[in-house]
Amino acid sequence: MTMTTENNEQYLWNAIRRHDPKSGPMIAKDGEGAWFVASDGKAYLDGVSGLWCLNVGHGNEEIVQAAAKQMRELSYFPLTNSHEPAMELSKKISELLGGGYRTFFSNSGSEANETAFKIVRQYHIQTGNPGKYKVISRYRGYHGSTLGALSATAQANRRIKYDPGVPGFLHVYPPYSYRSIFGDEDKEASDLKAAQLVEEMINWEGEDSVAAFIMEPFISGGGVIIPSFKYMQRIQEICEKYNVLLICDEVVSGFGRTGKMFGYQHSEGVQPDIVTMAKGITSGYLPLGATSVKAEIANVFREGGEDTHFRHVSTFGGHPAACAVALKNIDIIERENLVERVDELGYSILGRLQDCISHENIGEVRRIGFLAGLEMVKDKETREPLSDEAIGRVISYCKSQGLIIGRNGDTVPGQNNVLIVAPPFITSEEDLHFIVDTLVAGLNEI
């Protein structure tokens, strides 16, 4: 039976999609590498890796076989007990993080962050700080769509009609030097002042009430905002000073996207208390989320008592097949030196996007590894965001040429003006040039 757009409209509820009776969603049929083929037979290069996750591309037979083998051996087993793939994967994650971490598995980035928030609150209660429950996050940051994770998400458009959220979540100004409120020409100085606002908020709220600070190393869906590396170092200093746990949300940047295995590793000396991850952990082949916690924090939950253990469960979290897929995915990333490839080609080829800064409608180009954002403006002097209609013309042109790119949609009112490029790690050099050339040509459609 051939499924059509009409079938989609009748039975399926699409994610983050406005209903348009004149234009249905794209229906993918098959894929290979960085490309997929739609139901109309046209091929497209996926310039955003699905939802930032298809890192090793479609059709990797090693991953398919790893999943099949595991399903034959052990189809399912809950982590109220244990199984070998989960133990192997948690050990591997700890090694990648530098050692000394214990991992709780879930199914997604949202769940990974929800898990972190519960761990943080219980940890502080059990270490004699019951008043510490507040979590600080940054405006424009995204941390998930479940209610707790959405409360940490400081993107107004994502929260419309869903507020009020969970109490105890606070939002602070991000390290966004292009639209700095400080007036500094120097990016690092502006970012460090943004970090100082975190300390001010802790003092204003009372250090005895603040439990954690959560941050993406590089704000991704909120507009590819890339702070100076000293920003995170300063954030860690502040967190340590006030006994505030540092949660690093690596859901997008983890597993190589930025040219390091994890985004926080760009900042020397930084070691988060908790690291959350999903997406690239399996390259999207199966759902899996993970919350990795320093062992000294996790050990607090092993103390005796009726309710000192972590009373949290995920039926499918750490599914044997998903863990087997993640292990094979990481093996491929390491064996094929894909992180190094992302770092090198992100600079030498995707770095060509920097030349777009000369275009009259581009205010800033932000890029690290295979993650790039072009902030579109109507006027370079006033930095007024470019209209949705004009940005739509660029995206539509790229699509007509067989390239899918993204934008920071449904984030900040009036500032959904950043074009986003984040291709799979295995994208060929020829295809990377195609991405840049097509996007540059698309700018002429404005």
Handedness of CA 164, 168, 174, 180 (dihedral sign): positive
Question: Whose CA is closest to 180, among 188, 326, 14, 438?
Answer: 188
pLDDT at 1: 60
Q: How many whole angstroms separate alpha carbon 72 and alpha carbon 65?
A: 11
| Position 20 pLDDT exceeds 90 | no
**Quick one: average pLDDT of 300-306?**
90
Handedness of CA 45, 51, 52, 54 (dihedral sign): negative
Rounded-to-10 torsion of CA 306, 310, 316, 318: -130
pLDDT at 353: 97
| Position 7 pLDDT exceeds 90 | no
Q: pLDDT class for 9, splitting at 50, 70, 90?
A: confident
| Position 2 pLDDT exceeds 80 | no
pLDDT digits (tens, 9 = 90+) for 222-281: 999 999 999 999 999 999 999 999 999 999 999 999 999 999 999 999 999 999 999 999
pLDDT digits (tens, 9 = 90+) for 56-112: 999 999 999 999 999 999 999 999 999 999 999 999 999 999 999 999 999 999 999
Asked if residues 218 and 197 have their Cβ atoms less than 8 Å apart, the reply is no
pTM higher than 0.85: yes
Q: Tell how strand 418-421 and strand 371-376 pair up.
A: antiparallel
Rounded-to-10 torsion of CA 354, 358, 359, 365: 30
Asked if residues 283 and 329 have their Cβ atoms less than 8 Å apart, the reply is yes
Asked if residues 113 and 153 have their Cβ atoms less than 8 Å apart, the reply is no
Q: How many whole angstroms separate alpha carbon 354 and alpha carbon 358?
A: 9
**Secondary structure of 302-366 in HEC code, one letter for each residue:** HCCCCCCCCCCCCCCCCCHHHHHHHHHHHHHHHHCCHHHHHHHHHHHCHHHHHHHHHCCCEEEEE
Q: What are the structural domains, with CATH classification, of the chain?
A: 5-59+338-445 (3.90.1150.10), 62-335 (3.40.640.10)
Q: pLDDT class for 3, splitting at 50, 70, 90?
A: low
From first CA to last CA, the distance across the chain in angstroms is: 41
